[in-house]
Amino acid sequence: MASASSAPSIRSIARAALDAGAGVLRLSPTWVPRSFLQPGRRLKLHPDDLYAFGLSRGGIDERWFGSTTEAANDNRTQDEGLSWAVHEGGRFLLRDAVEELGADIVGAAIWKRYGKWPVYSKFFDNMGPIPHHMHQSDAQAKLVGREGKPEAYYFPPQHNTLSNNFPYTFMGLEPGTTREQVARCIRDWNKGDNRITALSRAYELEVGTGWLIPPAILHAPGSLCTYEPQWGSDVFAMYQNLVEGREVPRHLLVKDMPASKHDDIDFIVDQLDWSGNTNPSFKESHFLRPVVDTCDDAHGDRWIVYGRIEGAQLFSAKELTVKPGASVTITDRGANSIIVVQGSGRINAMRLHCPKLIRFGEMTEDECFVTDAAARAGVRYENTSETEDLVVLRYFGPEVNPQAPNL
């Protein structure tokens, strides 16, 4: 497909696409590889395409949704992590459309405060556990010219018929853990397993539930496939040096810390939110069970991601189920990005279909972006199957849903 390059053409193509979709943009799949991880094979990507970026780039274990955020990978492609909208054989970056049309897409409040779409979501799908790591806060990330990254998890049943090798996640640190114990783990990076997870606690993951993870909280996600609404940043620091016998390069510990601090053990340890990591009521503070919002004979709509971080609602997410043969008009308070995880149907006049297998570079009919105006006017979801539910996950930007539950 040809891509638009000049601002006027992006504006006109985006306007035409929005008019045709009644405020809904069709998005193509955005695949992201990770060189230090092993794909879990539940993203519906064809097995022959798992290493489509090349073996040295690593396997594809992430698909990003509604993203205007670049993936922070070494040797990345120019558009890695960015979502493309498609219309009549052409395509344009969602990021470019937002820059051109602003509040018409993301809403006046978000545009005024952030001047962009500041969040995204993704499927993360790994065969086993990943390193105990954290994502920096805004203040910490600002030291290297970046933004912080709070995030949340939901484990959709449709992508978790297999739990893979380790369906447990280490989170935080055991109450009573000392800074010296963590400092020793950092000093011993090249002496074999630094055993930082011995200072933590593993929680068995439950399909159909989730977690809210603020910045600077250690976590080592397990092997369930997760749907992850999060802030539009890709900063992280890996505090574990060996996972399933595979080395975690030390530069992944300090990549988003000032260069002058890369060997400063005290600085690295103090990046952690100590009271948050050692919270004796950790699960009660972070665990998410779905909460029903609306429900009738035709549909059910549940909160799957909710809660506030330091008093702010940075993102939220819902799971919509439309019964076979039914239709429902959903009115939301702001723009949202959707992914279909089960069934077939329509959103307004646009077809929805959950694919069984996707080739790399192939178009799908399972992902859309709903603009602020369309969301507020009401979006019509129709299930065209006589036997199967239509299930759609959608996430929202900051402070869009003040009525959502809180932890």
Number of domains composing the chain: 1
CA distances from 283 to 175, 277, 312, 389 (A): 13, 11, 20, 31
Judge whether 208 lies within some domain.
yes
Max CA pair span of the chain: 62
Rounded distance, CA 374 to CA 312, Å? 25
The answer to whether 339 and 44 are in contact (CB under 8 A) is no
**What value does the mean pLDDT take over residues 275-294?**
98
Percent residues over pLDDT 90 in the chain = 96
Asked whether residue 241 is domain-assigned, the answer is yes
In a domain, 402, yes or no: no
The answer to the question of residue 65 being in a domain is yes
Whether residue 229 lies inside any domain: the answer is yes
Q: What is the mean pLDDT of the chain?
A: 96
Give the model's pLDDT for residue 5: 44
386 burial type by CB count under 10 A (0-12 exposed, 13-18 middle, 19+ buried) = exposed
Residues 119 and 398: beta-carbon distance below 8 Å = yes
What is d(CA 32, CA 39) in angstroms, rounded to the nearest whole number? Answer: 11
**Is residue 3's pLDDT more than 50?**
no
pLDDT in tens, 249-283: 999 999 999 999 999 999 999 999 999 999 999 99
Question: Which range marks the domain in which residue 268 is found?
Answer: 29-74+108-288
- Residue 35 has a pLDDT of 87
- 74: pLDDT confidence band, cut at 50, 70 and 90? confident
Please state the pTM of the whole predicted model.
0.95
The CATH number for 277's domain is 2.60.120.10
Asked if residue 370 is part of any domain, the answer here is no
What is the C-alpha separation between 168 and 261, in angstroms, rounded?
Answer: 32
- In terms of Cα–Cα distance, which of 317, 320, 312, 275 is closest to 295? 320
**Which residue do the tokens 């759609």 mark?**
392
Residue-level pLDDT at 209: 98
Measured over the CA atoms of residue 85, residue 87, residue 91 and residue 92, the dihedral's sign is negative
Residue 92 lies in a domain: no
Residue 189, in any domain of the structure:
yes
